[in-house]
Amino acid sequence: DQQVKQNSPSLSVQEGRISILNCDYTNSMFDYFLWYKKYPAEGPTFLISISSIKDKNEDGRFTVFLNKSAKHLSLHIVPSQPGDSAVYFCAAASGGSNYKLTFGKGTLLTVNP
Amino acid sequence: GAVVSQHPSWVICKSGTSVKIECRSLDFQATTMFWYRQFPKQSLMLMATSNEGSKATYEQGVEKDKFLINHASLTLSTLTVTSAHPEDSSFYICSARVTGSTDTQYFGPGTRLTVL
């Protein structure tokens, strides 16, 4: 049973436009959410996170929105750049001493010049 | 800041041998480190949580006698794949959580293990 779902395996966007990556979760105990970017054969790179007490967090071109009632979060990238092309993983954590992360399967974003 | 390194970056070994992978936090202390495995086109699956000075906590279905974890210091955790078999071939990634900080984990670059 997958607790974190990224239903779109891939997304293609034109350079300069907005990229919207979606993520749904089922475990209501999750209280912290993160987005990671990953290139092939490399480890994930942390992008942005959001606590469940917020509904929006912004960092430069990246904005994460959280809708707790819908158990849904999204990552907006604007403007999209070709260098943003990578796999984006959504991850969620619940409180506790170890804060284990549960990852989605990822969405491959391709930004076309 | 918050750099995590892994060594080696790739390794090829014969079936039945053991392989050790190191994970180091370079510029911070990490009481807790995590080991993940990723198969092609799949998500990162948590294998175990490594706590400095104590035994690792393994996820369900992960054999603790096969995947030995040692977290001897605040900057180093090791994963040893014992008696490796071809089905153990995968991409192994570690992460570290900054001690006393938020829930953010910083990941190493990963180790590609191929067992022949």
- Mean pLDDT calculated for residue range B70-99: 91
Q: Do A46 and B97 touch (CB under 8 A)?
A: no
Q: Token pair 């959580």 is at which residue?
A: B97
Q: What is the mean pLDDT of chain A?
A: 92
Contacts of B40 (CB under 8 A, 6+ apart): none
Task: Tell me: pLDDT of B3 over 50.
Answer: yes
- B104 Cβ under 8 Å from any chain A Cβ: yes
The low-confidence residues of chain A, meaning pLDDT below 50, are: 97
Whole-number mean pLDDT of chain B?
90
Which tens digit of pLDDT belongs to each residue from B38-82?
887 788 899 999 888 888 999 999 999 999 999 888 899 999 999
- Report the pLDDT value the prediction gives residue A97, as an integer from 0 to 100: 45
Percent of chain A with pLDDT over 90: 77
Q: Does A54 touch chain B (CB under 8 A)?
A: no
What letter represents residue A10's amino acid? S
Whether residue B15 is predicted with pLDDT greater than 70 in this model: the reply is yes
Q: Strand B10-13 and strand B111-115: pairing?
A: parallel
Using a CB-CB distance cutoff of 8 angstroms, which residues of chain B are in contact with residue A98? 32, 49, 51, 57
The pLDDT score that the predictor gives to residue B41 is 75
- pLDDT for A40: 83
Residue from B28, B75, B27 nearest B50 by CA: B75
Closest Cα partner for B96 from A40, A46, A38?
A46
- The CA distance from B85 to B103, in Å, is 34
Assess whether pLDDT exceeds 90 at residue B100: no
At residue B12 the predicted structure's pLDDT band, cuts being 50, 70 and 90, is very high
The letter for the amino acid at B106 is Y
**pLDDT of amino acid B4:** 93
Inspect the interface and report whether the beta carbons of B110 and A36 lie closer than 8 Å. no
